[in-house]
Chains A and B, each alone.
Chain A
Amino acid sequence: MSTDPSSSSAAAAEEISNKRKSKKPKYSRFTQQELPAWQPILTPRWVIAIFTLIALIFIPVGLAAFSASQRVVEVEFEYDSTCIPDSYKDNATAYIKDDTTNKTCTQKFIINSRMQAPIFVYYQLDNFYQNHRRYVKSRSDEQLRTPDKENDVSSCSPEDYVIINNKSEPIVPCGLIAWSLFNDTYKIQNNDKDLAINKTNIAWASDRNTKFGADVYPKNFQISGLIGGAKLDPNLPLSEQEDLIVWMRTAALPKFRKLYGRIETDLEVEDEIVVLIENNYNTYEFGGKKSLVLSTTTWIGGRNNFLGIAYVVIGSISLLLALGFLLLYILKPRPLGDPSYLSWNKNPGGLR
């Protein structure tokens, strides 16, 4: 953008400018835009090949995904309404808020297909907007990680401080997410034998090891005001409070599952499963639903036929398109690059 400003004599500058002016652009394929380029032309052959290829990939993948999904055994039952005693049917909220009522509820069901360990136990909430902006933001990752940052609660309002003896004390873990921690508990019996539910390693290892401090302990949590959900053991560091860690990975959609634990024994067909539910969590106030889910897993994840069906459908459409273009190619072939198809050749009266 410049020449040397120190060239003081006009003659010198002129010379430079002339030199510049006369500088012929250098030839290179790059500057002349003549680099060898691969020009993809969608010839019928290519088009048919592409569609066939898509079909060839999608249909088998779809079938595999579908069969994998079919192999998943999933038991799901909603218990929010069934676990309300008949006397409280019309006033579920009062029931759930009353500390004196017995919240235990027994559900029975029969296993229809064999479930191979590990069997994952999920709780499923519906109409619970864990993705609400107010909710998602109501946490302090700093505070969860290091004890020094326990006062870092500005983002947690309105669940940030608690007033104790006229002094503001920070809540650890602060924020609405932690405050609303799910607190239903399940006990599962198979043929009257207690099935152990393994609740370790249900959270991501990365969260346990790095994100939630091993030296951060719950403090002032759920001690006054409205109790939003579960309480935490103040003697356990956050990194070991796996239910909290799972809960704090907020769900993406208003209907979501969260891992409760794993059953590490197989369940056979005709096994009678009894679930003892402590129905504590108040979803009645906002019309949320609660379910318990037992599910095995395969490489595709839980039971969801969507992927398989979608793959098969798309593969089939591609196959049809391939056939369609093949037909078109046979019925109405157009020679490629035929100048007679150029618009001015089709209309000879055009511009001459």
Chain B
Amino acid sequence: MIDVKPRRLLTFLCNVLGIGIGPVLADFSKGHALESSPLLKEGQGQGQGQGQGQGQGQGQGQGQGMDSHSNSNCPSGNPLVPFEICDNSKPHHERRSRLKSMQFDDGFPLHEDNARSVYINDPKRTNQNYEFTGNEIRTSSYTLITFLPKNLFIQFHRVAYLYFLAIAALNQLPPLAVFGRTASLFPLLFVLCVTAIKDGYEDWRKHRSDRFENNRDCLVLQDHGIFLPKKWNRIQAGDVVKISADEMIPADIVLLGTSDKSGIAYIQTMNLDGESNLKTRFARQETVPAVTSESCAVTGVIRCEKPNRNIYEFTANMEFNGTKIPLNQTNIVLRGCVLKNTDWLIGVVVSAGQETKAMLNSAAAPPKRSKLEIYMNRETVWLSVFLFVMCSAVALGMGLWLRRHKHQLETLPYYRRTYLNRGPETGKDHKYYGIPMEILFSFLSSVIVFQIMIPISLYITMELVRVGQSYFMVEDMDMHDSSCGSRFQCRSFNINEDLGQIRYIFSDKTGTLTENKMEFRKASVFGKNYGNSMPVPPDTVKSKRRWKLKSEIPVDSDLMALLQKEKDSSSEERVAAHDFFITLTACNTVIPVVSGNRPCSYETKEDDGVVSIDYQGESPDEQALVSAASAYGYTLFERTTGHLVIDKNGEKIRLEVLGMHEFDSVRKRMSVVIRFPNNAVKVLVKGADTSMLRILANDDDIVWHATQDHLNEYSLEGLRTLVLASRDLSEAELEEWQSAYLEASTALFDRATKLRYAASLIECNLKLLGATGIEDRLQEGVPDAIECLRQAGIKVWVLTGDKQETAISIGVSCKLLTPDMEKIIINATSEAHCRDLLVEAKARYGVRSSGKGHGNGKHKTIVDPGMEEDDTAPLALIIDGTSLVYILERETESEASLFDIATACRVVICCRVAPLQKAGIVNLIKSRTDDITLAIGDGANDVSMIQMADVGVGICGQEGRQAVMAADFAMGQFQFLRKLLLVHGHWNYQRLGYLVLYNFYRNAVFVFMLFWYILCTAFSTTSALTEWSCVLYSVIYTSIPTVIVGVMDKDLSQQTLLQYPKLYGAGYRQEAYNIRLFWLTMIDTLWQSLVVFLIPVLTYKNSSIDIWSLGSLWTIAIVILVTVHLAMDVNGWILIMHLAVWGSIFITYGCLLVLDSIPLLPNYWTIYHLACTPTYWITILLVTVVALLPRFTCKVASQVLWPSDIQIAREAEARSKKHGDR
């Protein structure tokens, strides 16, 4: 509704109010900016804060940008909500292709006609036919000339400013001039100036950093065939550039060759996706020989897709020496990445400047709006009604008065419509336009006088208060994760108060409830279970190992013995075990990094003995598996596109990699085709059990059954399982596959489908090797936190991709599921089956239907604590992804019953859910209740639900930072949620709820008072208060204590809040702000305004008081009244509050003294006269006491007779403190 750029206004308001938050904010921002925009690195630190999403230089890419590629597949979808469900018939899996690894379906089918051609090392020709952008970047928005108009234009996009402007413009019309020119323009000009100065400063810094970026040097192949430095902004598409180690990539580059003979380059993509591990990029083998460190003899054409923002996807091909070579995302290096562990790389620029993926990703996430704010807007409509009624009353009164005095107006001394002594003009009207127009003008001028009835300043105050609250959340030591050193982050400033009203938590499992530090625990090799026996201490088997791993893995001695049993090497079991470990080592995307060495030059280190090795990979599971294999003597040593080297107990095996089908969410497996030194060709496959067990050859023998049993057993223990299998390929099969693979991987469109087809040729009739069980331990404090949240009345739902058994076991271990619970398990195989299950469950457990609630859509979860779950055993719902597909995507009726069951259950666990389903489940609750949902997760697969939920929380974990960047809040561990919600959420909500009510009151009482007076002035919209006092009332006189109390007031200490989690219920029961409180406040406001108006009038009714004196009395009386009102409601007084509250009264006096010392104002010297009389002071005292007496009495009475939980807890706290002190 009001497009307020939070940071901007905040900072501005800090300045406006000149209060001590300024330095705090600055400090806060400093500590915050880098974390909140992880993409801002290396010399571009002038982040503008995520609110505006303008990172600098290449370090672009904010928030959900990473995910926005999915939009393009969803033409009807809201571009801001990438995972918004488009209800078209398009298969969903196309859109939710991304899982934790970097696999994608072809999101952007590359048709020949919209491809772009880049001629390698021929920028002129490249840029001849196409409009390529240069590599110059411009993140700044203004130039010297455009600054003023453009800045004003942008500023007036905000409704608040437009309101100010409209009011000020109205006031400039001569018949309406209620306030003087300066006074009426003051608020607007002030806001505009300060914002303009701030914008100008920010933009200047952007200019500076742009200049810095654009003037960086890079080696570019020039006319004479040698590399010469060139400025970044001169680089064009088609240029061949050379990057040295630790340099930043200036544009999106297709690799042609690197210092590594096989064409590998290691890059760090921290600036793009925040993942700190190294990724490999490959130059195509065909071009590598043509490239040396000083020259590049590659010529050809690259046809690539149009620039887009999907950083995980690149489709192109290269015509080189007459052949078409496919290119994919492993061949491109994006702007903003940093070259690591590689001496140099040479590549051709395919898109530059604003067209690079990094720059395209620099859009900000859509702002969320808090529930409280939505309710507040609803009440603002009521305030507008009040405003309209009052203005109409004034206009009507004016009309009637004019009609009654129609014949006197000409000479009426205090109106005098006409000129009487102006010669020729005598008899003409002066500022009189006839009764109808006068009524209109009267209406408009009363709008000007009553303008603050609509609390526009409240939006600004709220932003300011939220910044203060965020500061305290960020600074909270209890939410600092010392193990990985990550602070709490507030990435969104709009929804702090939602944290205090959460009703549902949707939690990811892996990395959120668990640590996501994978440990290889168990293995089932050829039907035999290993890992139960006591692990042999690693050093006993270390003798033969020359590789030092970062972590030590306990080794099962039986398995070790099996592997070392040389004699019996031909036995099936032994071969299976060997293949098992080869698969673990080969079938993955892990990159070994030998410390201190380039991976390619290991020969020099051969004599050294122990070399430490570090595995870099995107999947922690794979890292764990490779490390485990290494512990058993199969050390992955070197990996390129073409081959890998395994050190098997000291013996080096070089395996040729013929092809690799990477993991994708449809197949749920990964395979690699390997040619062994003995020329045998094998396909090694690893994948999820559901997808693997179907494609096995021996799907019914003992091994199969044993493995199946082991898998179940592992799942019950909460281990993550993977099934390994392999197959020997015959030459014919190999050839068939190779041609399909080649065609698929050079295809320009539909590549994913073709690759899947190629994979299906070999991923069949596999021989089962075994299964692995990886443990992902629960994070510290998770069970306690969940228990605590549940006591607080929050429903915790776990959404996981794991198997049902694993999910249940995790549920048990984190105390979500308790033995006394009735478990409803929905595990359907068909749509009808699923519906039946739901209906049956509903009937069996007597779940009440939410009824027709469909029409109105939303209903409120019944929050009466006495009603819930008292008669029957608590229910737990366990539902799997397949059933969810049936329910969420097809059937509205089942969806309703699912909702009924789910809300009746205390625990809901959804297993085997895909990312989009997670969002679907969140949406199920969100669309059917008014309750506030929170989603917490750590991985890219959680992004959709994090964005869907009202509040998204990201865990800074092992899986990159996509979740963090999409989230509103980010923190290190799940258990911090407890403090975040119970303490900070509670405080934020209480504070902001009170703030809103108080602001409504504060402005309305002032406006009502003006209104009463206008009724005594023949409806002529006179204000007894000086125009400056009218303007300054909400800006200076009363604003500071509002903000301070909004930021710092504390109803309960954090100890109490954590001790009684149920106190959190005040939040979702909306106890601090609801429509009843609004109306009570308004009635109170009416009373207070009458008192503050009438008492001075009655006191001075038979006296010679002048309008300015009475106005001065009203000014001070109302300021003291609203301040004391606030003081009455403060829960915990600290020094700064005393200063703010009582200080603001002094400030008001100060302002009045200054205003009354200017001889040119009609109110000159008023207050000096007034303050000398005792009547003045006792009137103020009387006003304050009489106005507040009803409120105080009601407050006391309700506290004595109907104490709220918070009140009792407060008393208990105060009592214990007193006892403690004694």
Chain A residues near B (Cβ < 8 Å): 1-14, 16-18, 20-27, 31-44, 47, 54, 58, 61, 65, 122, 128-136, 139, 141-142, 145, 157-159, 161-163, 166, 176, 179-180, 204, 206-207, 210-211, 224-226, 228-229, 249-259, 285-286, 299-304, 306-307, 310-311, 314, 317-318, 321, 325, 328-329, 332, 334, 336-339, 341-344, 347, 349-352
Cross-chain contact A253 with B1016 (CB below 8 angstroms): yes
For the complex with contacts A136-B1107, A210-B1164, A304-B1099, 16 further pairs of A-B residues with Cβ separation under 8 Å are: A3-B40, A5-B45, A13-B41, A14-B270, A23-B31, A27-B477, A41-B1211, A130-B1107, A133-B1021, A158-B430, A204-B1165, A250-B1107, A259-B1104, A304-B1100, A329-B1200, A343-B1205
User: Which chain A residue lies CB-closest to B7?
Assistant: A1
Interface residues of B in 1188-1221 (CB under 8 A from A): 1189, 1193, 1195-1196, 1199-1201, 1203, 1205, 1208-1217
Cross-chain contact B1017 with A342 (CB below 8 angstroms): no
Residues of B within 8 A of A32 (CB): 475-477
Taking a contact as CB atoms closer than 8 A, the residue among B38, B48, B246, B474 that contacts A25 in the complex is B474
Does B297 have its Cβ within 8 Å of any Cβ on chain A?
A: no
CB pairs A–B below 8 angstroms (18 shown): A2-B46, A4-B45, A10-B248, A17-B41, A31-B472, A32-B475, A39-B1131, A39-B1217, A43-B1211, A130-B414, A132-B415, A141-B1161, A163-B421, A252-B1109, A254-B1017, A338-B1212, A343-B1062, A344-B1205
Residue picked from A22, A136, A303, most chain B C-beta under 10 Å:
A136
- The 0/1 profile, CB within 8 Å of A marked 1, for residues 1088-1126 of chain B is 000000010111111111111111000000000000000
Taking a contact as CB atoms closer than 8 A, the residue among B56, B416, B1169, B1196 that contacts A158 in the complex is B416
In the complex, how many angstroms separate the beta carbon of B1019 from the nearest chain A beta carbon?
9
Residues of B within 8 A of A307 (CB): 1099, 1175, 1178-1179, 1182
Does B49 have its Cβ within 8 Å of any Cβ on chain A?
A: yes
| CA of A15 to CA of B413, assembled, Å | 79
Residues of B within 8 A of A16 (CB): 34
Known: A250-B1107, A317-B1189, A347-B865. A37 touches B1133 (CB 8 A): yes
User: Which chain B residue lies CB-closest to A182?
Assistant: B413
| CA of A18 to CA of B270, assembled, Å | 12
Cross-chain contact B1105 with A342 (CB below 8 angstroms): no
Known: A132-B414, A251-B1105, A285-B408. A336 touches B1211 (CB 8 A): yes
Residues of B within 8 A of A37 (CB): 1050, 1132-1134
Does B459 have its Cβ within 8 Å of any Cβ on chain A?
A: no
Cross-chain contact B43 with A8 (CB below 8 angstroms): yes
Cross-chain contact B47 with A176 (CB below 8 angstroms): no
User: Which chain B residue lies CB-closest to A179?
Assistant: B413
Residues of B within 8 A of A334 (CB): 1200, 1203
Cross-chain contact A314 with B415 (CB below 8 angstroms): no
Does B149 have its Cβ within 8 Å of any Cβ on chain A?
A: no
| CA of A41 to CA of B1217, assembled, Å | 12
Q: Which of B127-135, B535-543, B866-874 contacts A (4 or more CB under 8 A)?
A: B866-874
Does B1173 have its Cβ within 8 Å of any Cβ on chain A?
A: yes
In the complex, how many angstroms separate the beta carbon of A226 from the nearest chain B beta carbon?
4
Cross-chain contact A145 with B1159 (CB below 8 angstroms): yes
| CA of A7 to CA of B1196, assembled, Å | 61
Residues of B within 8 A of A349 (CB): 866, 870
Cross-chain contact A129 with B414 (CB below 8 angstroms): yes
Taking a contact as CB atoms closer than 8 A, the residue among A158, A249, A258, A325 that contacts B418 in the complex is A158
User: Which chain A residue lies CB-closest to B38?
Assistant: A17
Cross-chain contact A251 with B868 (CB below 8 angstroms): no
| Count of B interface residues, CB-CB < 8 Å | 137
Does B973 have its Cβ within 8 Å of any Cβ on chain A?
A: no
Q: Which of B313-321, B482-490, B716-724, B763-771 contacts A (4 or more CB under 8 A)?
A: B482-490
Cross-chain contact A344 with B1196 (CB below 8 angstroms): no
Residue picked from A18, A27, A129, A257, most chain B C-beta under 10 Å:
A129
- The 0/1 profile, CB within 8 Å of A marked 1, for residues 538-566 of chain B is 00000000000000000000000000000
| CA of A211 to CA of B412, assembled, Å | 27
Q: Which of B117-125, B205-213, B505-513, B822-830 contacts A (4 or more CB under 8 A)?
A: B205-213
Known: A39-B1214, A206-B1169. A13 touches B42 (CB 8 A): yes
- The 0/1 profile, CB within 8 Å of A marked 1, for residues 390-431 of chain B is 000000000000000100100111111011111110100011
Cross-chain contact B482 with A24 (CB below 8 angstroms): yes
Cross-chain contact B414 with A14 (CB below 8 angstroms): no
Cross-chain contact B45 with A3 (CB below 8 angstroms): yes
Residues of B within 8 A of A158 (CB): 416, 418-420, 422, 430
Does B1142 have its Cβ within 8 Å of any Cβ on chain A?
A: no
Residues of B within 8 A of A318 (CB): 1189
Residues of A within 8 A of B193 (CB): none
Tell me how many residue pairs across A and B have CB atoms closer than 8 Å. Answer: 352
| CA of A35 to CA of B430, assembled, Å | 63
Does B596 have its Cβ within 8 Å of any Cβ on chain A?
A: no
In the complex, how many angstroms separate the beta carbon of B621 from the nearest chain A beta carbon?
25
Known: A161-B422, A304-B1101. A5 touches B485 (CB 8 A): no
In the complex, how many angstroms separate the beta carbon of B1066 from the nearest chain A beta carbon?
10
In the complex, how many angstroms separate the beta carbon of B173 from the nearest chain A beta carbon?
14
Chain B residues near A (Cβ < 8 Å): 26, 29-31, 33-35, 38, 40-49, 56, 178, 205, 208-209, 212, 216, 246-248, 268, 270, 338, 405, 408, 411-416, 418-424, 426, 430-431, 472, 474-477, 480, 482, 485-487, 791, 793, 865-866, 868-870, 987, 1016-1018, 1020-1022, 1024, 1048, 1050, 1053-1054, 1060, 1062, 1095, 1097-1111, 1130-1135, 1159-1162, 1164-1165, 1168-1169, 1173-1175, 1178-1179, 1182, 1185-1186, 1189, 1193, 1195-1196, 1199-1201, 1203, 1205, 1208-1217
User: Which chain A residue lies CB-closest to B177?
Assistant: A137
Taking a contact as CB atoms closer than 8 A, the residue among A5, A129, A225 that contacts B46 in the complex is A5
Taking a contact as CB atoms closer than 8 A, the residue among B47, B868, B1175 that contacts A351 in the complex is B868
Q: Which 8 A-B pairs have the closest CB atoms?
A: A225-B421, A3-B45, A337-B1212, A37-B1132, A163-B423, A350-B865, A22-B485, A337-B1211
Known: A13-B42, A20-B35, A54-B1185. A252 touches B1024 (CB 8 A): yes
| CA of A317 to CA of B1210, assembled, Å | 29
Cross-chain contact A162 with B421 (CB below 8 angstroms): yes
In the complex, how many angstroms separate the beta carbon of B1076 from the nearest chain A beta carbon?
18
Cross-chain contact A139 with B46 (CB below 8 angstroms): no
| CA of A145 to CA of B423, assembled, Å | 28
Cross-chain contact A339 with B413 (CB below 8 angstroms): no
User: Which chain B residue lies CB-closest to A309?
Assistant: B1098
Known: A24-B480, A300-B1175. A134 touches B208 (CB 8 A): no
User: Which chain B residue lies CB-closest to A136?
Assistant: B1022
Cross-chain contact A310 with B1186 (CB below 8 angstroms): yes
Cross-chain contact B1208 with A10 (CB below 8 angstroms): no
In the complex, how many angstroms separate the beta carbon of B1135 from the nearest chain A beta carbon?
8
User: Which chain B residue lies CB-closest to A249?
Assistant: B1106
Cross-chain contact B1048 with A33 (CB below 8 angstroms): yes
User: Which chain A residue lies CB-closest to B1206?
Assistant: A342
Cross-chain contact A41 with B1214 (CB below 8 angstroms): yes
| CA of A349 to CA of B485, assembled, Å | 43
Residues of A within 8 A of B421 (CB): 159, 162-163, 224-226
Taking a contact as CB atoms closer than 8 A, the residue among B419, B1100, B1159 that contacts A252 in the complex is B1100
Cross-chain contact B1214 with A5 (CB below 8 angstroms): no
Cross-chain contact B1200 with A176 (CB below 8 angstroms): no
Cross-chain contact A1 with B865 (CB below 8 angstroms): no
| CA of A180 to CA of B414, assembled, Å | 8
Cross-chain contact B1103 with A21 (CB below 8 angstroms): no
Residues of B within 8 A of A7 (CB): 42-43
Cross-chain contact A128 with B414 (CB below 8 angstroms): yes
In the complex, how many angstroms separate the beta carbon of B409 from the nearest chain A beta carbon?
10
Residues of A within 8 A of B216 (CB): 8
In the complex, how many angstroms separate the beta carbon of B790 from the nearest chain A beta carbon?
8
Known: A159-B416, A343-B1205. A133 touches B1022 (CB 8 A): yes
Cross-chain contact A1 with B474 (CB below 8 angstroms): no
Cross-chain contact B41 with A325 (CB below 8 angstroms): no
Cross-chain contact B868 with A211 (CB below 8 angstroms): no
